[in-house]
Amino acid sequence: MNLWKDFNQGIIRENPVLRLMIGLCPVLAVSNNAINALGMSIAVAFVLIGSNFVVALIRKMTPDEIRIPIFIIIISTFVTICDYVMQAYSPALYQALGVFVPLIVVNCIILGRAEAFAYKNPVLNSVLDGVGMSLGFMLALVSIGVIREVLGAGSVFGFPLFDERIAATIMILPPGAFITIGVLMALVNRMENKVL
Amino acid sequence: MGRIIKLGLTLAIFCVISAGMLAYVFIMTVPRIEANAKASFEGSLREVLPGAESFKNVVAPGTKSEIYEGYAGGQAVGLAVKVSPRGYSGEIVMLVGVDPEFRVKGMKILNQRETPGLGTNVEKPKFQKQFIGKGIKDAIEPKKDIDAITGATISSRAVCDGVKTVLRDSDQYRKVKP
């Protein structure tokens, strides 16, 4: 069994953001501080693990022609549940993430893993793949969030580190997202190529 | 033909199960969502008008703002007015409290989508405390009477406009009040 491989490939080797480069839209948009990044990662993890589980569970009875609509129904059900639960139990985070919670439906990491992995693999492997991919997504998103928040606002997870007047505001604006993500991609590529 | 019906039925079954789950989650969370929204708005009302114990939604003909009159021990202690001036990217929804002399007592930004790091500084106490004590006769011009936020002139101007609207509308309320 390749359970361990299914679990850890998403973390660095096939990291969805930094290696596969999918799901970049929410990454760019909500990574301007560490708390938003963490909240978004948790929401994506819930949806990804849930949808991988259900897709793997029903893959034998899913007719091939309509698998994509069925995936979308499953994913949007999980996203809507996540949306309501977040609104009820964490209204501040819900307000900060705004439109990006409903947009998890069209996040290609989730549909991509359903189609490329969960539809072809047993339940346990698919759940592990979901957990691994979620951890990879969280690792990338929270790193970007921390870097941008420290450099751009002089704080981390909301705790002030130094006077924010000397912080580079550009880092919490959209260009900061592109700069950070580019630098991290380069680092991960270098690290991976050395290992190979 | 038979194949199409089978596929259609399969999709329908998935939709029904999904709808059932969503209905359940909706029923479980909606009371809490509504309670949250109410509690958070009432908390904001108390924040901008400290000392008030209860609030009543009142109407002043000729104004578009939402006006709430605050009471403490049966006495009116001022107004809290919600306005939404146009900022740099969308409306800045803000709540301003005015005391019985119709001077600004406190303010809070409820919702905004300004540029992070620049326009979002309108939420800072340093900027907002400049408005405290301003009345209908005071000039509230950004860069003259109010220090605007560097790099966020439009957002600063929007907040000034919001405060002006609040003072005008509470003055209107004073005139029509029985």
DSSP structure string for A122-172: -HHHHHHHHHHHHHHHHHHHHHHHHHHHHHHHSEETTEE-S-GGGS-GGGG
Mean pLDDT of B84-99: 91
pLDDT tier, B176 (very low <50, low <70, confident <90, very high otherwise): confident
pLDDT tens-digit profile of A43-74?
A: 999 999 999 999 999 988 888 888 999 999 99
pLDDT tier, A82 (very low <50, low <70, confident <90, very high otherwise): very high
| pLDDT at B155 (0 to 100) | 92
| pLDDT at B160 (0 to 100) | 93
Nearest CA in chain B to A55: B14
The answer, yes or no, to whether residue B15 has pLDDT greater than 90, is yes
A66–B118 CB contact, under 8 Å: no
Q: Quote the pTM value.
A: 0.79
Q: What does the block give as tokens for B171?
A: 């003055």
Mean pLDDT of B95-112: 89
Give the residue among A154, A163, A139, A161 at the shortest CA–CA distance from A33: A154
Range in A7-21, B15-29, B76-90 the model is least confident about: A7-21
| pLDDT at B178 (0 to 100) | 61
B33–A169 CB contact, under 8 Å: no
pLDDT tier, B2 (very low <50, low <70, confident <90, very high otherwise): confident
| Alpha-helical regions (H) of chain B | 2-48, 125-128, 153-176
pLDDT tier, A195 (very low <50, low <70, confident <90, very high otherwise): low
Mean pLDDT of A108-135: 90
User: Among partner residues B10, B18, B36, which is closest to A88 by beta-carbon distance?
Assistant: B36
Kindly state whether A160 is in contact with chain B, defined as any CB-CB distance less than 8 angstroms: no
Mutate to test the interface with A, among B10, B42, B113, B120 (most CBs of A within 10 A): B10
pLDDT tier, B27 (very low <50, low <70, confident <90, very high otherwise): very high
The answer, yes or no, to whether residue A170 has pLDDT greater than 90, is no
Mean pLDDT of B6-18: 92
| pLDDT at A106 (0 to 100) | 83
pLDDT tens-digit profile of B120-137?
A: 888 888 899 898 888 888
pLDDT tier, B86 (very low <50, low <70, confident <90, very high otherwise): very high
Mean pLDDT of B106-116: 87
| pLDDT at B74 (0 to 100) | 80
The answer, yes or no, to whether residue A194 has pLDDT greater than 80, is no
**CB interface of A with B, residues 82-121, below 8 Å:** 84-85, 87-89, 91, 95
How does the average pLDDT of chain B come out, rounded? 88
User: Among partner residues B11, B36, B111, which is closest to A66 by beta-carbon distance?
Assistant: B11
Is ipTM over 0.90? no
Mean pLDDT of B100-107: 88
Q: Which own/partner pairs from B46-50 qualify as long-range (CB within 8 Å, at least 24 positions apart)?
A: B47/B106, B47/B108, B48/B80, B48/B95, B48/B96, B48/B97, B48/B105, B48/B106, B48/B107, B48/B108, B49/B77, B49/B78, B49/B79, B49/B80, B49/B97, B49/B105, B49/B106, B50/B97, B50/B105, B50/B106
pLDDT tier, B174 (very low <50, low <70, confident <90, very high otherwise): confident
pLDDT tier, A8 (very low <50, low <70, confident <90, very high otherwise): confident
The answer, yes or no, to whether residue B177 has pLDDT greater than 80, is no
Mean pLDDT of A112-120: 89
| pLDDT at B154 (0 to 100) | 92
Strands B66-72 and B54-58 turn out to be: antiparallel
